Amino acid sequence: MNLVFQGTIDTANGTRIDCINDGMEVSLMIFNNILVNYVLTVSRFEIENGTIETLLYKFQLEAGDTIRDTTTYKLSPGDYIHIESTQADTTYYISADINDTKTR
């Protein structure tokens, strides 16, 4: 089943996209701020063997710049993607497929 997460990144705490059900594959992430220059940071947190943070990328971007990431990130239960922006009004769109063995 495909899920879409979208909205505005929380500048105070960042935005967290949690793994749902038995696993999740994030296949598309799009970020944009049309109003001001901004710094975008995207990290992956893996929980299986203690919390391990992996910086996926950090970019200094100009107003209107869009990041489109089509890398597939496989998340296990407890894992999550954390997104941060230095400016308000930075939007995100994330598409993911969930593994739900309970419905198969």
Q: What is the pTM of this model?
A: 0.91
Position 58 scores a pLDDT of: 98
Angstrom distance (rounded) from CA 32 to CA 42: 13
Q: Which CATH number fits domain 2-98: 1.20.1730.10, 2.60.120.340, 3.30.70.1070, 2.60.260.20?
A: 2.60.120.340
The pLDDT of 77-102, averaged and rounded, is 92
Name the 3-class secondary structure at 101: helix
Identify residue 101 by its one-letter amino acid code.
T
Position 75 scores a pLDDT of: 96
pLDDT tens digits along 35-60: 999 999 999 999 988 889 999 999 99
- Percent of the chain beyond pLDDT 90? 87
Question: In the structure encoding, which two tokens stand for residue 92, read together?
Answer: 């995100």
Angstrom distance (rounded) from CA 100 to CA 98: 6
Position 37 scores a pLDDT of: 98
